[in-house]
Amino acid sequence: MSKIIIGRYIPGNSVVYKMDPRGKIIATFLFIVIIFLANNWLSYLFLSFFTLLAVGATKLKPKVFWDGVKPLIWLILFTSVLQLFFTTGGKIYWHWGIFNVSEYGIQNSIFIFIRFVMIILISTVLTLTTTSLEIADGMEWILRPLGYLKVPVAQIALVMSIALRFVPTLLDQAVRIMNAQRARGADFNSGGLIKRIHAIIPILIPLFISSLTIAIDLATAMEARGYREGSKRTRYRVLKWSKYDWINLGYFALLTLILLLTRTY
């Protein structure tokens, strides 16, 4: 479980860490949109260059990013291979039944590969350098316009930050329960599918019970400290927009512009 890098935060102090989470979230989402603007070799070259620049700016070890890509490598290769064999057009190099390797197929499979890796890298940059609370705060700010549509943004934000706060607690609890049951002879790693599903019960039931207990206790504690639903609250964590965020968005606008130019070119 400790090998999974997606959704993990690694403390550091490079420029990327000083950026506002709102800017980073917006840039990440837009990146996934503009990645589809790229349609030729030159645009992919620029895209890769800018992504690697962002990765480099975090000043984290490259191995960390490789750990982020690794669990998805089979999905990426599978998709690329499908593209390779089932795209027609251009010169056909090889043909057998419904399979064929064509000029466009090779090109498309490489493009898809780059696309996947770039999306994973950029979202890893976001999660590695932003704490989950910052992400929740940023999301709340981004969702704020939905308040006009009677969406309870403040409550959603509270739910998000509580949920994020309890991910590590529940993970710890799950590990503790697993260990306790293992000590009593439970076996989670052997037997057939049915047996393994059955073996999860001694973990799941205590975990449900303890999450419900935590929820009840937390609700009482929050009420005791003056929390009332719907009443106005001030905020303690204030997001601050700095010059780095203008650089971030400027960099992003530049990339969009270049992609548009290479498209028409």
Partner 1 sequence: MSIEFKNVDYIYAPETPFQTQGLADISFKIKSGSFVAIAGHTGSGKSTLMQHFDGLLLPSSGAVNIADKTITSNTSSKSLKEIRKKVGLVFQFPESQLFEETVLKDVMFGPLNFGFSEQKAKEQAIEWIEKVGLSEQVMNKSPFELSGGQMRRVAIAGVMAYEPDILCLDEPAAGLDPEGQKQMFDIFKNYQQEGHTVILISHNMDDISQYADDMLVLEHGRLIKHASPKEVFSDPNWVKEHFLDEPATSKFARELEKGGFQFSEMPLTIDSLVNKIANNLKAKGGNE
Our CA dihedral for 54, 60, 66, 71, rounded to 10 degrees, sits at: -100
Q: Which are the contacts of 118, defined by CB distance < 8 A and separation ≥ 6?
A: 31, 35, 47, 48, 51
Residues 20, 21, 26, 28, CA torsion sign: positive
Q: Contact with partner 1 (CB under 8 A): which of 177, 255, 258, 259?
A: 177
13 binds partner 1 (CB under 8 A): no
216 binds partner 1 (CB under 8 A): no
- 21-34 and 103-129 helices cross at what angle (nearest 10)? 170
200 binds partner 1 (CB under 8 A): no
Of the two residues 213 and 242, which places its CB atom closer to partner 1 in the complex? Answer: 213
211 binds partner 1 (CB under 8 A): no
Q: Contact with partner 1 (CB under 8 A): which of 209, 218, 221, 253?
A: 209
Q: Contact with partner 1 (CB under 8 A): which of 30, 34, 42, 64?
A: 64
Of the two residues 61 and 95, which places its CB atom closer to partner 1 in the complex? Answer: 61
With contacts defined by CB under 8 A, name the span among 34-42, 108-116, 154-162, 170-178 that binds partner 1: 170-178
Of the two residues 30 and 207, which places its CB atom closer to partner 1 in the complex? Answer: 207
181 binds partner 1 (CB under 8 A): yes
For 89-111, give the secondary structure using H, E and C.
Answer: CCCEEEEECCEEEEHHHHHHHHH
Give pairs for 26-29: CB < 8 Å, separation 24+. 26/142, 26/249, 27/248, 27/249, 27/252, 28/122, 28/123, 28/125, 28/126
Binding site for partner 1 (CB under 8 A): 2-3, 10, 61, 64, 173, 176-177, 179-187, 189, 201-202, 205-206, 209-210
